[in-house]
Homo-oligomer: A and B are copies of this chain.
Amino acid sequence: MSSARVPFSRAEIIAVGTELLTAFRTDTNSLFLTARLNELGIEVRRKSIVGDDAADLAPAIRDALERADLLVVCGGLGPTEDDRTRETVAEVLGLGLTEDRAIVERLRERFAARGWTMPENNRRQGMVPDGAVVLDNARGTAPGLLLETGGRVVVLLPGPPRELEPMFTAVAQARLSKHTAPDRLYRRILRVAGRGESHVEELAQPVYERWRRATQPVATTVLASPGLVELHLSTRSADPDTATVALDGATGELAAVLGEHLFSTDGRSLSEVVGQMLRDGGFRVAVGESCTGGLVTAQFVDVPGSSSYVETGVVAYSNEVKQAVLGVDPGLIESAGAVSEAVAVAMAEGAQRVGVVEIGIGVTGVAGPGGGSEEKPVGTVCFGVVGPGTEREARTVRFPGDRAMIRRQAARTALDLLRRVLQRRMRERATIRGSGS
């Protein structure tokens, strides 16, 4: 490896597999690889996806090696005739292939341990190009390979993520980190709920534009998904402290303009942030939901350990169940309508009572495609939060999009509403304590 260029400046990733060229599958390994490469300060400049056919794969590898000084190729290391990566790379680099007896022996043992005989096909996985370093695969049969050629490094990895990920983490640490620039990329993720992308841009742009031109520049990317906007900040430096000071500065200024809409600056999800607040306050929560059909509860439950603060969730579509399980007054449904803030609050109270907990959440709305009216069109969702203590909050939001988008946004909004209630309460308590001292 001594002749490899220092530092790497351009990495490319090639994902190999005919199934990745169908309408049903896409390459996701490159997201993991990019994260690891960026940590080392290495930028990914191109990603290519090609089929198993050697006639397509060979030129892709050849072209990439003309541009990149680090090439990662994923997939095509299996035992079948379709798996051509090993042979094609050897051919492009003009290297011979020799069977590595130790690899084949380990494969045989692996099969024997399960009481099977190794198919002869699998011997192909023991073929190693001249001069290649063999990378152990703890979780599968295909070993990885690392090759060096004309100052460039080529890494071949198996396609399954559970095999690729530990293998690449190991090779990045042991072999690639030596060849990277002293510069590292440092990142911070800011998450915002309850405000659309354009509103967030309007608030944040003057701040991040200034930081983009700062002495230690901080780059910002805005990413939006239903009910959530993320600001990804990054800065490149050889000195961790310089990077931290810049990221802290930009984060602090962005936090000031985003105010209570900002809920996370440390990568935690909304479920994690709310879960932590509930744990800190010693509160448990119960959910009564209709149009979100279990998604609000499922969101809480996403977080390991959530069973300590999620007591119960009741999906109540029909008025009968709203009445029988959550105790919602049928007269109220009659007078206010099933989709109303009054019923959302009554569902929250019912859930609170059923779960015998401090906080109840109620959600009722029209997720569509049917069921809308002029007054309450598809996308109208009402939220209620009752507790802790005397807290009481109701809200109506009209979400855009189709059924799935409406439900996802509604589930996020329910969590966000609870976050705002808990945050306000914490602020008020702090003020009371402050004024009493």
Within the assembled complex, what's the spacing in Å between the Cα atoms of A256 and B209? 63
> Are B221 and A304 in contact (CB-based, < 8 A)?
no
> Are B19 and A221 in contact (CB-based, < 8 A)?
yes
CB-CB under 8 A from A21, the residues of chain B are 34, 43-47
* Copy count, this protein chain: 2
What is the chain B residue whose CB lies nearest that of A67? B59
What is the chain B residue whose CB lies nearest that of A49? B47
What is the chain B residue whose CB lies nearest that of A222? B19
A384 interface residue, CB < 8 Å from B?
Answer: no
- From DSSP, what is the main secondary structure of chain A's interface residues? mixed
Q: Known contacts A21-B45, A28-B26, A304-B403: does B293 contact A315 (CB below 8 Å)?
A: no
A235 interface residue, CB < 8 Å from B?
Answer: no
In the assembled complex, the CB of A67 is this many whole angstroms from the nearest CB of chain B, namely: 8
CB-CB under 8 A from A50, the residues of chain B are 45-46
A6 interface residue, CB < 8 Å from B?
Answer: no
Q: Interface range on chain A: under 10, 10 to 19, 20 to 34, or 35 or more?
A: 35 or more
Within the assembled complex, what's the spacing in Å between the Cα atoms of A401 and B247? 36
A316 interface residue, CB < 8 Å from B?
Answer: yes
Residue from the list B18, B49, B232, B316 in contact with A24, Cβ < 8 A: B232
In the assembled complex, the CB of A278 is this many whole angstroms from the nearest CB of chain B, namely: 14
A321 interface residue, CB < 8 Å from B?
Answer: yes
In the assembled complex, the CB of A23 is this many whole angstroms from the nearest CB of chain B, namely: 4
In the assembled complex, the CB of A384 is this many whole angstroms from the nearest CB of chain B, namely: 18
A375 interface residue, CB < 8 Å from B?
Answer: no
> Are A23 and B32 in contact (CB-based, < 8 A)?
yes
In the assembled complex, the CB of A69 is this many whole angstroms from the nearest CB of chain B, namely: 15
Within residues 297 to 324 of chain A, which ones have a CB less than 8 A from any CB in chain B? 297-298, 300-302, 304-307, 310-318, 320-321, 324
Residue from the list B25, B32, B48, B369 in contact with A304, Cβ < 8 A: B369
In the assembled complex, the CB of A53 is this many whole angstroms from the nearest CB of chain B, namely: 8
CB-CB under 8 A from A239, the residues of chain B are none
Within the assembled complex, what's the spacing in Å between the Cα atoms of A294 and B295? 7
> Are B221 and A305 in contact (CB-based, < 8 A)?
no
What is the chain B residue whose CB lies nearest that of A289? B294
A165 interface residue, CB < 8 Å from B?
Answer: no
CB-CB under 8 A from A20, the residues of chain B are 47
A223 interface residue, CB < 8 Å from B?
Answer: yes
A404 interface residue, CB < 8 Å from B?
Answer: yes
Within residues 124 to 142 of chain A, which ones have a CB less than 8 A from any CB in chain B? none
A241 interface residue, CB < 8 Å from B?
Answer: no
> Are A356 and B320 in contact (CB-based, < 8 A)?
yes
CB-CB under 8 A from A313, the residues of chain B are 293-294, 313-315
In the assembled complex, the CB of A2 is this many whole angstroms from the nearest CB of chain B, namely: 30
In the assembled complex, the CB of A327 is this many whole angstroms from the nearest CB of chain B, namely: 12
A70 interface residue, CB < 8 Å from B?
Answer: no
In the assembled complex, the CB of A334 is this many whole angstroms from the nearest CB of chain B, namely: 19
What is the chain B residue whose CB lies nearest that of A299? B294
A377 interface residue, CB < 8 Å from B?
Answer: no
In the assembled complex, the CB of A62 is this many whole angstroms from the nearest CB of chain B, namely: 11
What is the chain B residue whose CB lies nearest that of A15? B47
A325 interface residue, CB < 8 Å from B?
Answer: yes
Within the assembled complex, what's the spacing in Å between the Cα atoms of A295 and B292? 11
Residue from the list B46, B56, B297, B314 in contact with A60, Cβ < 8 A: B46
Q: List 29 A-B contacts (CB under 8 A).
A: A21-B34, A21-B44, A22-B34, A22-B221, A23-B34, A23-B35, A26-B26, A26-B28, A47-B48, A47-B49, A48-B48, A287-B315, A293-B297, A293-B302, A294-B294, A294-B313, A294-B315, A304-B368, A304-B370, A311-B317, A311-B321, A312-B318, A312-B325, A313-B314, A313-B315, A314-B314, A321-B355, A324-B354, A325-B354
Question: Which residues of A pack against B, CB within 8 Å?
Answer: 18-28, 30-32, 34-35, 38, 43-51, 56, 59-60, 63, 67, 221, 223, 230, 232, 287, 293-298, 300-302, 304-307, 310-318, 320-321, 324-325, 354-356, 368-370, 403-404, 407
> 7 smallest A-B Cβ distances: which pairs?
A293-B301, A294-B294, A313-B315, A23-B35, A294-B297, A294-B298, A47-B49
